[in-house]
Amino acid sequence: MEKTQNPDGIGFMKMHGAGNDFVVIDSRGRGAVVTPALAKALGDRNRGVGFDQLAEIRDVDGADFELDFWNSDGSRAGACGNATRCVSDYVMRGLGLDAVSLVTMRGGLQAVRQPDGRVSVNMGAPQLDWAEVPLSRAVDTLHLPLAGDPVAVGMGNPHCVFFVADAEAVDLPSVGPVWEHDPLFPQRTNVEFASVLGPDHLRMRVWERGAGITLACGSGACATAVAAHLRGLTGRKVTLDLDGGVLEIDWRADGVWMTGPVAHVFDGWLSADFVASHL
């Protein structure tokens, strides 16, 4: 990313993975610059840039880079799989590598580029205990005591997965915010609705915590694949059709691997006035 513009402003990249779109700020060499106010202002699609999540690249010891994530409402996100894949591709190109290590709130992760140009990331082991998701009380995470019999899975952020006959028929704008704010989820939750298309094929739609309806959600795809396997609906390797594209999930012994497309759309520059007014 070119950094020869006004040094008082901030350069950024716009990326997406299967339609899940991000603003990415490379803060290596200067320290973190993103604040809740700046994230919220940037997330406004009319007055800012607009994104599902914001990712900030930072320096870290013991890995190639570190990532912090923000939702479009200015809240922090614990994980963002599609952004992790996109940023990993950017860093790999800069370093001339086909594999990188990184650190997020989930801990240490690995990403690799596939021969066809797609990028895979190991999202780590799923969190299946109620306290790890987290939930507000001890319940069976495989059968939550909620209407619709959903599954709770943590992937660095909480997920509530519903299996339905037809994901297309779900009224996401109405039901998404209701489940996001259910008292069983003290940190709110992402909400996925999935229907089974085959023994290793799911159709999934998502309402993301702090962002609303998005075209794809990497951690949500991972959580849905894990939930489907635990319910006996699929194997451990699953293809998911999302509104914005296709992701492949493979729950291996070393973690949940997600593979999908990456796109670096454009580079931009935030004016010094915009940055100063939202710090």
Q: Is 252 helix (H, G, I), strand (E, B) or coil?
A: strand
Q: Give the separation between CA 163 and CA 80, rounded to whole angstroms.
A: 22
**Alpha carbon distances (Å) from 54 to 13, 14, 135, 211:** 10, 9, 25, 11
Q: Give the separation between CA 137 and CA 124, rounded to whole angstroms.
A: 24
Q: Give the separation between CA 22 and CA 264, rounded to whole angstroms.
A: 10
Q: Two tokens at 187?
A: 């940190």
Residues across the chain:
279
Helix (H) or strand (E) holding 104: strand 99-104
Beta bridge partners of 69: 55, 77
Angle subtended at Cα 17 by Cα 16 and Cα 19, rounded to the nearest 5 degrees: 70
Q: Give the separation between CA 185 and CA 35, rounded to whole angstroms.
A: 25
Helices 218-230 & 81-95 angle (0-180, nearest 10)? 120
- Residue keyed to tokens 């800069």: 94
* Burial class of residue 199, CB neighbours in 10 A (0-12, 13-18, 19+): exposed
Number of other residues whose CB lies within 10 A of the CB of residue 230: 17
Q: Two tokens at 1?
A: 């990313």
Catalytic residues: 80, 217
